[in-house]
Amino acid sequence: MIGVVIPAHDEAAHIGAAVAAARAAAAHPALVGEPVQILVVADACRDDTAALAQAGGAQTLALCARNVGIARHAGARQLLAAGARWLAFTDADSTVAEDWLAAQLALQCEAVCGCVWVADWQAHGERAGLVAQAFAAHYRPVDGHRHIHGANLGLSAAAYQRAGGFQALATSEDVALVRALETAGIAVAYSAQPRVWTSARTDHRAPLGFGDALRRLSDALQLPCHGDGGAGLGEAAA
């Protein structure tokens, strides 16, 4: 069985699309009918995130941690207990490609770090075009990249357990896990083949995460000498 974990905090506006995309990936013919469980971890949600996730066909787990590392780990632990051999992680404001899971598994590695593409830059208003151009100048979604995103991450159950799982971090929990994998001697494939489209939203959830990096990039465009405005995009949390 394959497990998909989607942490969410007040994501009623996005969770339906995230779950629908994950379900499409679960039905990909390359998986030859292997069961896939999609688990939305509703962390301190005050809206209809959980109800909408269930209506879309996902399982849900309710927490009150308000911590993405705890949420990802709780989801992973539940799916491991259910027998998952592979764990895939994405985010509530992201949509995975139909071959997302198939592409991760096709790499035949213990762990896979994928890239992200931005679906819509309109959240940045009149600067949308400039932010998109600056992002493209700093971010290269190619095989062999070194990006780490919780929105596009997969690994075997054995690798997850060997690395100790996600730490109880409010941000950069994905980077910490990948570093633990590498320290444990587990090979990590940095591939552009598993594709995920994510949001350029300005009301991002994770401090120092991908959304925060985009905000800083946008802010830097207003300065006469902004230097490397792409700092933080290489190891951005989702």
Where residue 6 falls among pLDDT bands split at 50, 70, 90? very high
pTM exceeds 0.85 for this model: yes
CA distance 40 to 55: 12
CATH code, domain with 73: 3.90.550.10
Residue 137 pLDDT > 50: yes
Among 14-28, 162-176, 179-193, 210-224, the least confident range: 210-224
CA distance 203 to 214: 11
Total Cβ atoms within 10 A of residue 123:
18
CA distance 18 to 4: 11
- Residues contacting 12, CB < 8 A, separation 6+: 47, 48, 49, 52
Residue 206 belongs to a domain: no
Residue 163 belongs to a domain: yes
Residue 216 belongs to a domain: no
Residue 221 pLDDT > 80: no
Residue 235 belongs to a domain: no
CA end-to-end distance (rounded Å), the chain: 25
Residue 210 belongs to a domain: no
Residue 130 belongs to a domain: no
- Written as one letter, the residue type at 54 is Q
Residue 175 belongs to a domain: yes
Contact (CB, 8 A) for 12 and 48: yes
Structural domain of 185? 2-118+141-195
Residue 234 belongs to a domain: no
Domain count, the chain: 1
